[in-house]
Amino acid sequence: RGTILREELSRFTEEFRLNRGYEKVWIPHIAKIDTYKMSGHYEKFPELLKFTSTESGDELALKPVNCPHHTQIYSAKPRSYRDLPVKYLETTTVYRDEKSGEMGGLNRVRAITQDDSHVFCTEEQVEQVFAELIEDAQTLYMMLGLKLSLRLSFRDDGDSYLGELSTWERAESSIKRLAEQFNLEYEVGIGEAAIYGPKMDFMATDALGRKTQLATVQLDYAQPERFDLEYTAEDGTKKRPIMVHCALLGSLERFL
């Protein structure tokens, strides 16, 4: 029964994204550690990565995130402004070496199945991408009978983040402006941002009154820079795309 639920939920959430022009992709579950050094995840959260070595001397890790791999698909061929936005979706498992004391039922697990999506777009397209994802999250949870609240997850003064402070300030202002533009009531969570950018987190309340993040939409200027992603603009110059991360259910295990 649990398997049927997972499959139906995965199919349900994929329909939303396929209707928005997303393309299904498939990435490996194990990769050279260099991938996560480039993305910054090794630098910021080495304790979450599970390593192994091969006889040839390669240092490998079970993938803790999907975004670096989707950047590689994007960069596999030249991109034009006519191609953007480029939208990928994948329901896949990531692996985090969580400490045993932090584990808890399906809410905190080491193998996390995400209905993950990544959009590569221009600055001018960000608003429309967010609008679509906000609308889909609201529609999906209304159909499921779950009421959500919104948290804008911003950085704190710590050093667990990638990119320049000025870029963060611009991204956080954009997130706040979008929330207000769509008349969304929100609270601000300082220190709850992803390492690469601020987020809109849709929060559900459980039977004990605890708030848990489910759907999330995240703005990312850092990884396109770190992976040197480009597209050719209308005037022929090379420009950097912006990356938008989204999961509608978030973690299937946590959602269940």
Catalytic residue among 201, 245, 246, 254: 245
Catalytic residue among 17, 41, 87, 118: 118
Catalytic residue among 41, 199, 239, 254: 199
Residue among 116, 234, 245 nearest 193 (CA) = 245
Catalytic residue among 116, 136, 201, 220: 116
d(CA 102, CA 71): 31
Residue 46 burial (10 A CB sphere; 0-12, 13-18, 19+)? middle
Structure tokens at 212: 């848990």
Catalytic residue among 17, 87, 96, 239: 96
In Å, how far are 19, 39, 43, 231 from 238, measured between CA atoms?
30, 21, 28, 6
Catalytic residue among 17, 41, 63, 67: 67
Distance between start and end Cα atoms, the chain: 12
Catalytic residue among 70, 114, 220, 239: 114
Q: How many residues does the chain have?
A: 256
- Check if 245 is active-site: yes
- Check if 96 is active-site: yes
- Check if 67 is active-site: yes
- Check if 41 is active-site: no
- Check if 116 is active-site: yes
Active site residues: 67, 96, 114, 116, 118, 199, 245
